[in-house]
Amino acid sequence: MVLKVWMSHGDQLDRAPDGFKVIGCTQTSPFAAIINEEKYLFGIQFHPEVTHTPRGKDILKNFVASVCECQTNWTMESFIDKEIGRIRQIVGPNGQVVGAVSGGVDSTVAAKLMKEAIGDRFHAVLVDNGVMRLNECQTVKKQLGDHLGINLKVVDASDKFLDRLKGVTDPEKKRKIIGNTFIEVFESEAAKIDLENKESGHGNIEYLLQGTLYPDVIESISFKGPSATIKTHHNVGGLTKNMKLKLIEPLRELFKDEVRELGKILSIDEDLIWRHPFPGPGIAIRILGEVTPSQVAIVRAADHIFIEEIKKAGLYRKISQAYAALLPVKAVGVMGDKRTYEQVIALRAVETTDFMTADWFPFPYDVLKRISNRIINEVKGVNRVVYDVSSKPPATIEWE
C-alpha cells in the first residue's frame, strides 16, 4: 500500500528500537512507521496533522478511537460551554477583562466568546500601532462595535510604536518591540478602566484576553528537545516578563479551521469569519528593513490593490492568506522616457487549512497582470512586482 505523507525534516532513525518492526518506509527513511505488537506501541516519523498528509486525519482518528479507545463525543458546542464556564470561574462574578482585538477571525472569535461569558465586563481594545492596513481601525470598530455589540475602544499609539521601530531591521527585534509595546499600552488602558471602575464600584482589570492559536505557540516556543523557535509571535514570545495582567487564551489549543467553525456557531458574520489573517506586528513584518511612515504607506497601498483585485476576481475565499511585502532592494525601470530606480513589491498568496503547511496559490495570469499593472502605475515608489512561489515549509507564510 502506498500512502502519501508529509516529511519535512532531514533527521531519521538509523535502526528500529528493540521489539519493534517496520510497517512503513520511504526511499530515504527506512523507519518511517514502526510497531511493537506485544506492547501495542506505534511510532511514526511524518506529520499526520497537516493538510499535506491527505489521510492524516484518518490516521489520527484510528489511533485515538481504535488504538486508545477514546470516546469521540467532543464537539465545538461542548467546547463553547466548557470555555464559557472556565472563563466565568477564573474571572469571577465581578472581574473585569481587557482584550486585544485586531479585527481578524482569531481575536474576533475570542472577543465574542468573552462577551458571551461576562458581557460588558469585557473591555476590547484595538491599538492603532501605525502599521495597520488601509482604513483598518475604522473597519474593525464598525464590525466589532456596531455589528457584534462588543465594548470596544480604539487607542491611537502609532507614534509610540513607530518611534521605537526607528532604525530596527531585525525581524525578531521588531516582533519583540511590538509585543512589548502592546502589553504596555494594554496595561495603561487597564489602569484607566480600573480608575473608572473604582468610581463606579466595579472590580479591577486582572486579565488580558488574547486570540492565540496553537500554531502561534508551536512556532514561538520550543517545548522539548532540539526543535527550534521558528519565529516569535508577538502574542507569545513578545510578552514582557514583568507583565501585570494574567492571560486568558481560550483558543490556544485550536487551529484556524476550528476557530472558523467556532465563529459560525457563535453567529459571527461570514465576512469576518473568512477574513484573511493579519499578523499582530502588522505591516512591520511585511517591510523587510527599517519601518518608516513612507514605507508603511507603500505597503498599505499595494496591499489594498492586491486584496481588492482578488475580491473582484472572486478568488478571496479560495485563498487562505494574501498580502504585499516590500523588499529591501531597488530595481532599474523606465516610466515614460525616464529611468527609474525604485522599490520592489513581492506578492504572497497561499492555500492552507491549518497554517502549519501551505502551497502558493496558482493565480490566473490575467489577474496577476492586472494586479501588477495597478500597483506599478498607482503606488508611488514601486517599479517592479514579483510573485512568491514558495511552499511552507521550507518558507514561512510571512516573509519575516
Residue reference for cell 500601532 = 129
The full DSSP string for 199-231 is HHTPPPEEEEE----HHHHHHH---STT-----
Residue reference for cell 486568558 = 248
Query: Is 106 part of any known ligand binding site?
Result: yes
CB of 124 within 8 A of CB of 144? yes
CB of 290 within 8 A of CB of 131? no
Q: Which DSSP letter does residue 358 get?
A: B
3-state secondary structure of 235: coil
The full DSSP string for 53-100 is STTHHHHHHIIIIIIS-------HHHHHHHHHHHHHHHH-SS-EEEEE
What cell was used for 120?
A: 460588558
CA distances from 345 to 18, 180, 390 (A): 54, 29, 16
Query: Is 320 part of any known ligand binding site?
Result: no
Whether residue 394 is preceded by a cis peptide bond, meaning omega within 30 degrees of 0, is: yes
Q: Which residues are CB-neighbours of 80 under 8 A, at least 6 positions away?
A: 113, 116, 262, 265, 266
Query: Is 212 part of any known ligand binding site?
Result: no
Query: Is 108 part of any known ligand binding site?
Result: yes
Could you list the residues known to form a binding site, using ranges: 102-108
Could you list the residues known to form a binding site for ATP, using ranges: 102-108
